[in-house]
Structure 1
Amino acid sequence: MTVALMWEAKAAPGRAPELLAWARSQHALGEALAVRREHFTAPGDRVLVIIWWDAAYDAELPEIPEPPGELVARGVHRWRFERV
């Protein structure tokens, strides 16, 4: 089964490049086992990371942590999806 973990944050004003750099620098233990990892940006200073795993939906998987508070305008949103 393939599970996708999505992590989305809204950067503090003018901090989107720093937030993206921070997200790219986060390599949780075991992430080398991930199938794929991609980074995206969107209007409104949003940064999105999607990591795909070959794992069960409820498997314990490393997550990207909360970024430093000065980089974000609100808390991080996280979602988990499975391929159908």
Structure 2
Amino acid sequence: MTVALMWEARASDGRGEELLAWARAQEFPREPLRRETLRAPGDRVLVITWWDAPYDAELPELPEPDGELLTRAVHRWRFESVGDG
């Protein structure tokens, strides 16, 4: 089964590039099948990782950044692949 973990955060005003750099620099104890980092207006950053694991498996996730980098707590979601079509 493929599980996708989504991590989304909103940076404090004007700190979107700093949050993006922080997210890109984070490493996992093991490599996911795939990792993609995206950004959006409003200084938002989204990281999606794909894992070959059961839905309820313990998987490494990005933490919350330290300090005043964020305007709110990180949002996290977990999805399972249902295939194409």
TM-score of the superposed pair, with normalisation by structure 2 = 0.93
Question: What is the match of residue 45 of structure 1?
Answer: 43
CA deviation after TM superposition for structure 1 residue 10, in Å: 0.4
Paired with 2:60 and 2:13, the residues of 1 have a C-alpha distance of 28
Paired with 2:67 and 2:3, the residues of 1 have a C-alpha distance of 28
Match of 1:56 among 42, 54, 57: 54
Letter in 1 for 2:20: L
Letter in 1 for 2:41: P
TM-score of the superposed pair, with normalisation by structure 1 = 0.94
Identity within the alignment, %:
71
Q: Which runs of 4+ in 1 moved over 2 A?
A: none
Question: What is the match of residue 76 of structure 2?
Answer: 78
Paired with 2:22 and 2:61, the residues of 1 have a C-alpha distance of 14
Question: What is the match of residue 23 of structure 1?
Answer: 23
Q: C-alpha root-mean-square deviation of aligned residues, in Å?
A: 0.7
CA deviation after TM superposition for structure 1 residue 69, in Å: 2.8
Secondary structure, counterpart of 2:36 in structure 1: strand
Q: Which of structures 1 and 2 has the bigger CA Rg?
A: 2
Where do 5+ consecutive residues of structure 2 fail to align? none
Question: What is the match of residue 9 of structure 1?
Answer: 9
Letter in 2 for 1:46: R
Secondary structure, counterpart of 1:19 in structure 2: helix
